[in-house]
Structure 1
Amino acid sequence: MTELSASSPVEPAPIALFPRQHRPLGTPARLAIEHVTLRYGGPDGTLAVDDVSIDVEQNEFCVIVGPSGCGKSSLLYLAAGLTELTSGDIRVDGHLVSEPGPDRGMVFQGYTLFPWLTVRQNVEYGPKRKGIGKAERRAIAERFLAEVGLGQFADVFPSQLSGGMKQRVALARALANDPSVLFMDEPFGALDSQTRGTMQKLLLRVWEHTQKTVLFVTHDIDEAILLGDRVVVMTARPGRIKAEIKVDFARPRAMDLVLEPEFIALKRHILGLLHDEIDEEH
Structure 2
Amino acid sequence: MSQAKLSLDQVRLEYRTAEKTVLAIDGVSFDVPENQFAVIVGPSGCGKSSLLYLIAGLSERTGGDIRLDGREVDGPGPDRGMVFQSYTLFPWLTVRQNVEFGLVRRKVPAAERERIVDGYLNATGLAQFHDSYPKELSGGMMQRVAIIRALANDPEILLMDEPFGALDAQTRITMQQLLLKVWEASRKTVLFVTHDIDEAVLLADRVYVMSARPGRLKAVIDIPLARPRHPDAALEPEFLALKRRIQGLLGGHGDGGH
Contact 2:247 2:253 in 1 (8 A): no
Superposition TM-score, scaled by structure 2 size: 0.95
Q: Which amino acid aligns with 2:64?
A: G
Contact 2:120 2:148 in 1 (8 A): yes
Q: Does 1:234 align with 2:204?
A: no
Kindly provide the CA deviation profile for residues 196-241 of structure 1, in whole angstroms up to 9, marking residues without a partner as x. 0000011111110000000000011000000000011000000000
* Residue 112 of structure 1: aligned partner: 88
Q: Which amino acid aligns with 2:192?
A: F
Contact 1:102 1:179 in 2 (8 A): yes
CA shift, 1:78, in A, is 0.2
* Residue 112 of structure 2: aligned partner: 136
CA shift, 1:103, in A, is 0.4
SS at match of 1:135: helix
Q: Does 1:53 align with 2:53?
A: no
CA shift, 1:277, in A, is 6.8
Q: Which amino acid aligns with 2:13?
A: L
CA shift, 1:268, in A, is 1.1
SS at match of 2:251: helix
CA shift, 1:138, in A, is 1.9
* Residue 39 of structure 1: aligned partner: 14
Alignment map for 1:98-247 (pairs within 5 Å): 98-247=74-223
CA shift, 1:39, in A, is 0.3
SS at match of 1:30: strand
Contact 1:235 1:277 in 2 (8 A): no
SS at match of 1:40: strand
Kindly provide the CA deviation profile for residues 55-78 of structure 1, in whole angstroms up to 9, marking residues without a partner as x. 001000000000000000000000
* Paired positions, count: 252
Superposition TM-score, scaled by structure 1 size: 0.87
Please list every run of at least 4 consecutive aligned residues from structure 1 whose deviation after the TM superposition is greater than 2 angstroms. Answer: none
Q: Does 1:275 align with 2:251?
A: yes
Separation in 2 of the partners of 1:136 and 1:229? 32
Contact 1:49 1:71 in 2 (8 A): yes
Separation in 1 of the partners of 2:188 and 2:155? 8
Separation in 1 of the partners of 2:151 and 2:119? 10
Q: Does 1:89 align with 2:65?
A: yes
Separation in 2 of the partners of 1:146 and 1:88? 42
Contact 1:148 1:202 in 2 (8 A): yes
* Residue 254 of structure 1: aligned partner: 230
Contact 1:78 1:84 in 2 (8 A): yes
Q: Which amino acid aligns with 2:128?
A: Q
SS at match of 2:64: strand
